[in-house]
A and B are shown apart, each in its own frame.
Chain A
Amino acid sequence: MRRLLAGRSRWTIVAGLATLFVALYPVLSDSTYYQDMIILSLIFAIGAVGLNVIAGYGGYVSLGQSAFVGLGAYTVGLLSLHHPDISPFVWVPLGGVVAGIAATLLGVIAMRTRGHAFVIITIAFLFLMQLVMLNWRSFTRGSSGISLPIPQWDVAYQNWPFYYALLAILAGAMLASWRIRRTKFGMGLIAMREDEDKAATVGVTTPAYKILGFVTSAVFPGMAGGVYAYYLSFIDPRGMFDIVISVQIILSMLLGGRGTLWGPVLGAFIIEPLNELANQQLGGGNSRLLIFGGLMTLVVLFLPRGIIPSAGVWLAARRRRGAEAPMGTRSDGAVPRGRLALRAPAPPGGGAPLLEVRGLSKRFGGVNAVDACSFEVQAGSITALIGPNGSGKTTAFNLIDGTMRADSGSVWLDGQRIDRMRPWRRAHLGIARTFQITRLFKEMTLLENVVAPLRSFSLARLNAVAISGPEAKRAEELLEFAGLREFRDEPAGALSYGQQKLVEFVQVLMLDPRLVLLDEPAGGINPTVIERMAQMIRELHGQGLTFLIVEHNMPFVLGLCDPVIVLARGGPICHGTPDHIQRDPKVLDAYLGEDFVLDEPVGVGS
């Protein structure tokens, strides 16, 4: 712990010295050449820090970042053209606003596209912006461009106003990035990057997160673009909407380390001098392309994490040599550590079903996975959903939690129809669900994993600090409940399968759910962990939480659950107590075939 702190403070000092140096440079030296280089580096840095929010945290890599710089530049340029007596600096914040509005558009588009489609659309967005600026001559002066007035301040101050304006904007961008990383918003973004569909099921309202992420990523580059326009004193569509600048911004972010705070800044201060070097010493335009093309190739292939994270990993590995991996630790005993108090204790069961599935159907091609399926889950019960392979259990879960859309039928939660709702909405209403093959956010720590789910959507909640404070405290309680609190800072990917299953279980409890859907919780783990799982379920059930469990492990099911619903060929064929269904001939037929005779009832006692 102390060593960790020492490492951090060492780098903080280096970063602090570097910042101080940059801040004081214009006072120490009057070389406009280097000031110019730093100014351009600051612009790249702002672009990269902004991009980092949506691309580094959120995983949506956009090639359209220079469009925001350009829009900011044009906002300031046009306003300055029509109001020549007002200093262009006054319009700079508006540049950010215009860029933010355009980013909302991009965010809306991102809601509907992913992966390849998304990157292609950002390219099209950038080129289309450039084309509109070119063709809308009456408004933007087209290819002739716009000239801005010459600065009127004393020559002795050289470029100071530009320099410090950009420094301030960078500080703002970094502050925002730092803050976001610590809040639930940031957690949700990273969760989205790791596994967007899973994030949706734990309440992350992905459309809102995307739009907010894009707006945040655009506002600061927009302002920087405004300052840049004044600095350059001339803007035209080709220069301002140049895709090579987008590439350099992405490269800055990737090289320095995406998802980190200082990485994009470090990257920018490497890329811009390299840019200068290429243009001046190495023969201009073509060598610039070679250098950046080559550098990006190398970074993407060999250093995908970037400098800072890779260095961090290397240093951490050195520090940890010989330490015991979390995977290897024994899970000791079947006693869950500590009790967990549910925060939203369920109202007493009153006879009405909590969950109702009516006539649900889903087909894949020619296969009716779920066929006119209807069943109920009573509040306060631990209901099991069993059946042979292919009977539609996991599909039914997917239809209930919103991962899939049903072809027909309806799902009702406490009298409210939910089958038209998106997954996060259902999560906010109180449905929590774990997956057959555990889906945790591998790159995030255990604490971050548990803190990422969003109980309900509000801007205040998004802004809540996640890595400390009440949210983090609750997360630690949940991890304590799972017996894994000491690994709170380990990445989830470092855990064993059984440990991950426990974490996923408590992760969804963060939602304060009313109904927990567990998909094969006992699958693929050792008996000790299975027993702990069962105890955890019983404990929570004792406080009134309702469970619906899909399982193949019969002793687990029959010892824990009542009632049991048996599914076969897409629909329920039997429903009743464990004893009852064990004897039912339809059930035996579905599982074992007609001629099998059961010797004696099976059950696991506590």
Chain B
Amino acid sequence: MRATRMVPAALAALAVGVVAVGCGSSSSSNGSGDENAPIKIGASLPLTGDFSEPGKAAKQGYQVWQQQVNASGGLLGRKVNMVVRDDASDQNTVVADYNALISRQKVNLLLGTFSSLLNIPASSVAERNRMLYVEPAGGAPEVFDRGYKYLFFAQQATADHQGDLFAQYILSLPPAQRPKTAAYPSLDDPFAVPVLDGIRAKLEKAGIKTVYKKVYPADTQNFDAIANSVKAANPDLLVHGATFADGVGFIRALNKVGFQPKYFFQTSAPSFADQFSKGVGENNTQGIFYAVSWTPDANTPGNKQFLDAYHKMFGNTTPAEDAADAYATAQVMQAAIKAVGGIDDQAKLADWLRHNTVNTILGPLKWADTGAPQGQFLIGQWQGGQSQIVLPKPAATSDQIVQRQATAAG
């Protein structure tokens, strides 16, 4: 009686073990194998959870790129297959995802995910496995502090340099017009805070006094008290670090409080086109500055084809900035592969990127040894209910810069 109960239990345990080991075993090479086999590219994106909006947009960007590449003969003459996993905006999952892509699904190449918080652990997995890792988003300076050799960021600059051109503009104003005081309220976010720190460092050095500098937590909902404090500080220039909801909420609160600074720079939110103007009310958008990596009107190589392909695949809406960033990411990877002529030696791909410039729909991108890009973001401003690019001059869609005004009532 004992034996007959014991043996099945032991066998069951053994069976489970064998199956798992069998499923789990993998060959250690990530080689391409057959020369004509399709190339498998893997990425994880936050398709659900806190970052699901930009995550979904990024997926669209990757998909547009895949369609374009395959339509024009593939990569190195081989068809491109893509696997996109959902990391649910969760760090544990993104690590599991990239492990799965590498060891279970045996992808040949990787593409990055969205947000510094997810890209940091994900890039560690890639680095440990010696695979090229180009990311569409994740510009926090800490991302590039780690001495990684395979990591590259496919936007023009890291967060702390995002506002460079704007800071330059402010400092270039004649003394009569230049703001004397500045306030820096910010969301507690690894992306927003460095943007403000970068701008503030430049402005403080030139003598613009900081009259308010506070960080509010991510779950802040009530901006009235913060707006009130900013009003009490009465700054000439307001630089606000935000994502979307808090950016909109803060502008509404400023209206309620009845305060309008002469100059107003806000991260992220104003780049959301219609969503932004609907959110704050069109009359309230006038004069707000922001930094952005891409616009639909940009005259960069491949931009029009990107837009056309996007419209064909996803309808006549304007792609989000994140979709364009994702597309550019894939372009970067593609350029390196084309130049090196192979996908097996990923160290060589990384090396090539370190020494070359890639032309993308965001413009030319080039990198330092750390993988941090060395370019400059576009600076936009809302004028007359439309968002325009105002800096740098060559890329500008409007040649004037307006003053901030808003009507009292929304």
- Determine direct contact between A and B, CB below 8 Å: yes
CB of A34 closer than 8 Å to a CB of B: yes
A7-50 contact mask (Cβ, 8 Å, vs B): 1 or 0: 00010011001100100010011111111110010000000000
CB of B17 closer than 8 Å to a CB of A: yes
A150 and B20 contact, Cβ closer than 8 Å, known pairs A30-B103, A284-B48: no
Complex Cα spacing A27 to B233, Å: 64
Complex Cα spacing A233 to B142, Å: 12
Partner of B190, one of A25, A29, A144: A144
Is there contact, CB below 8 Å, between B95 and A232? yes
In the complex, chain A residues whose CB is within 8 Å of the CB of B127: 150
B185-204 contact mask (Cβ, 8 Å, vs A): 1 or 0: 00011100110000000000
| Segment at the interface with A among B7-15, B71-79, B316-324 | B7-15
CB of A286 closer than 8 Å to a CB of B: yes
CB of B140 closer than 8 Å to a CB of A: yes
| Segment at the interface with B among A275-283, A358-366, A450-458, A463-471 | A275-283
- Find residues 293-322 in chain B having any chain A CB closer than 8 Å to their own CB: none
A155 and B2 contact, Cβ closer than 8 Å, known pairs A33-B100, A233-B121: no
Is there contact, CB below 8 Å, between B146 and A147? yes
In the complex, chain A residues whose CB is within 8 Å of the CB of B164: none
CB of B359 closer than 8 Å to a CB of A: no
B126-155 contact mask (Cβ, 8 Å, vs A): 1 or 0: 011110000000001010011010000000
Complex Cα spacing A131 to B86, Å: 28
CB of B124 closer than 8 Å to a CB of A: yes
- Find residues 238-289 in chain A having any chain B CB closer than 8 Å to their own CB: 238-239, 276, 279-280, 283-286, 288
CB of B213 closer than 8 Å to a CB of A: no
Partner of B193, one of A25, A30, A143, A151: A143
Complex Cα spacing A143 to B104, Å: 33
Partner of B140, one of A35, A135, A144: A144
Is there contact, CB below 8 Å, between A30 and B28? yes
CB of A236 closer than 8 Å to a CB of B: yes
CB of B342 closer than 8 Å to a CB of A: no
A32 and B48 contact, Cβ closer than 8 Å, known pairs A13-B10, A134-B217, A233-B120: no
Is there contact, CB below 8 Å, between A276 and B130? no
CB of B89 closer than 8 Å to a CB of A: yes
CB of B47 closer than 8 Å to a CB of A: yes
- Find residues 109-144 in chain A having any chain B CB closer than 8 Å to their own CB: 131, 134-135, 137, 141-144
Is there contact, CB below 8 Å, between A147 and B142? yes
In the complex, chain B residues whose CB is within 8 Å of the CB of A30: 24-26, 28, 103
- Find residues 110-130 in chain B having any chain A CB closer than 8 Å to their own CB: 117, 120-121, 124, 127-130
CB of A145 closer than 8 Å to a CB of B: yes
A279 and B128 contact, Cβ closer than 8 Å, known pairs A18-B13, A31-B23, A143-B189: no
Complex Cα spacing A154 to B127, Å: 13
In the complex, chain A residues whose CB is within 8 Å of the CB of B188: 134, 142-143
Is there contact, CB below 8 Å, between B86 and A279? yes
Partner of B96, one of A21, A33, A286, A288: A33
Is there contact, CB below 8 Å, between A150 and B190? no
CB of A6 closer than 8 Å to a CB of B: yes
A145 and B190 contact, Cβ closer than 8 Å, known pairs A33-B103, A151-B128: yes
Is there contact, CB below 8 Å, between A6 and B2? yes
Is there contact, CB below 8 Å, between B10 and A31? no
CB of A234 closer than 8 Å to a CB of B: yes
Size bracket of the A interface: 35 or more
Partner of A239, one of B28, B91, B100, B217: B91
Is there contact, CB below 8 Å, between B47 and A234? no
In the complex, chain A residues whose CB is within 8 Å of the CB of B222: none
In the complex, chain B residues whose CB is within 8 Å of the CB of A25: 20-21, 24
CB of B409 closer than 8 Å to a CB of A: no
CB distance from A156 to the nearest CB of B (A): 8
Q: Chain A at the B interface: mostly helix, strand, loop or mixed?
A: helix
Complex Cα spacing A6 to B25, Å: 36
Complex Cα spacing A21 to B17, Å: 7
CB of B93 closer than 8 Å to a CB of A: yes
Partner of A31, one of B88, B103, B129: B103
CB of B85 closer than 8 Å to a CB of A: yes
CB distance from B350 to the nearest CB of A (A): 15
CB distance from A161 to the nearest CB of B (A): 12
In the complex, chain B residues whose CB is within 8 Å of the CB of A236: 117, 190
In the complex, chain A residues whose CB is within 8 Å of the CB of B102: 32
CB of B90 closer than 8 Å to a CB of A: yes
In the complex, chain A residues whose CB is within 8 Å of the CB of B91: 232, 234, 239
In the complex, chain B residues whose CB is within 8 Å of the CB of A137: 215
A150 and B88 contact, Cβ closer than 8 Å, known pairs A17-B10, A33-B99: no
Complex Cα spacing A435 to B23, Å: 61
Complex Cα spacing A36 to B122, Å: 13
**A17's closest neighbor in chain B, by CB?**
B13
* Most chain A beta-carbon neighbours within 10 Å: one of B24, B50, B86: B24
In the complex, chain A residues whose CB is within 8 Å of the CB of B121: 232-234
**B20's closest neighbor in chain A, by CB?**
A34
Partner of B88, one of A131, A151, A284: A284
Complex Cα spacing A32 to B102, Å: 8
CB distance from B47 to the nearest CB of A (A): 6
In the complex, chain B residues whose CB is within 8 Å of the CB of A239: 91-92, 117
A131 and B217 contact, Cβ closer than 8 Å, known pairs A29-B24, A143-B188, A280-B85: yes
Partner of B47, one of A17, A284, A288: A284
CB distance from B84 to the nearest CB of A (A): 12
**A26's closest neighbor in chain B, by CB?**
B24
Is there contact, CB below 8 Å, between A36 and B189? no
In the complex, chain A residues whose CB is within 8 Å of the CB of B193: 142-144
Partner of B89, one of A18, A131, A142, A285: A285
CB distance from B351 to the nearest CB of A (A): 19
Is there contact, CB below 8 Å, between B14 and A17? yes
CB distance from B293 to the nearest CB of A (A): 21
CB distance from A104 to the nearest CB of B (A): 28
In the complex, chain A residues whose CB is within 8 Å of the CB of B142: 141, 144-145, 147
Is there contact, CB below 8 Å, between B130 and A155? yes
Is there contact, CB below 8 Å, between B90 and A285? yes
Is there contact, CB below 8 Å, between A13 and B24? no
Is there contact, CB below 8 Å, between B5 and A10? yes
CB of B206 closer than 8 Å to a CB of A: no
Partner of A155, one of B52, B95, B129: B129
**B48's closest neighbor in chain A, by CB?**
A284
In the complex, chain A residues whose CB is within 8 Å of the CB of B17: 21, 28
In the complex, chain A residues whose CB is within 8 Å of the CB of B48: 283-286
Partner of A28, one of B21, B87, B117, B148: B21
B163-184 contact mask (Cβ, 8 Å, vs A): 1 or 0: 0000000000000000000000
In the complex, chain B residues whose CB is within 8 Å of the CB of A18: 13
* Most chain A beta-carbon neighbours within 10 Å: one of B13, B148, B217: B13
CB of B341 closer than 8 Å to a CB of A: no
Complex Cα spacing A30 to B283, Å: 60
A145 and B217 contact, Cβ closer than 8 Å, known pairs A29-B25, A31-B104, A286-B48: no
* Most chain B beta-carbon neighbours within 10 Å: one of A6, A141, A150, A286: A150
In the complex, chain A residues whose CB is within 8 Å of the CB of B145: 147
Besides A142-B193, A145-B120, 4 other A-B contacts (C-beta < 8 A): A30-B25, A155-B129, A276-B93, A286-B49
Closest 10 CB pairs of A and B: A31-B24, A284-B48, A285-B49, A284-B88, A29-B24, A285-B88, A233-B124, A234-B120, A144-B190, A285-B48
29 A-B residue pairings within 8 Å (CB atoms): A17-B13, A29-B25, A30-B25, A30-B26, A31-B26, A33-B104, A34-B24, A36-B95, A40-B96, A144-B190, A144-B193, A144-B194, A145-B117, A147-B145, A147-B146, A150-B127, A232-B92, A232-B124, A234-B91, A234-B121, A279-B88, A279-B93, A280-B86, A280-B96, A283-B48, A283-B86, A284-B48, A285-B88, A286-B48
Interface residues of B (CB under 8 A from A): 2, 5-6, 9-10, 13-14, 16-17, 20-21, 23-26, 28, 47-50, 52, 85-93, 95-97, 99-100, 102-104, 117, 120-121, 124, 127-130, 140, 142, 145-146, 148, 188-190, 193-194, 215, 217-218
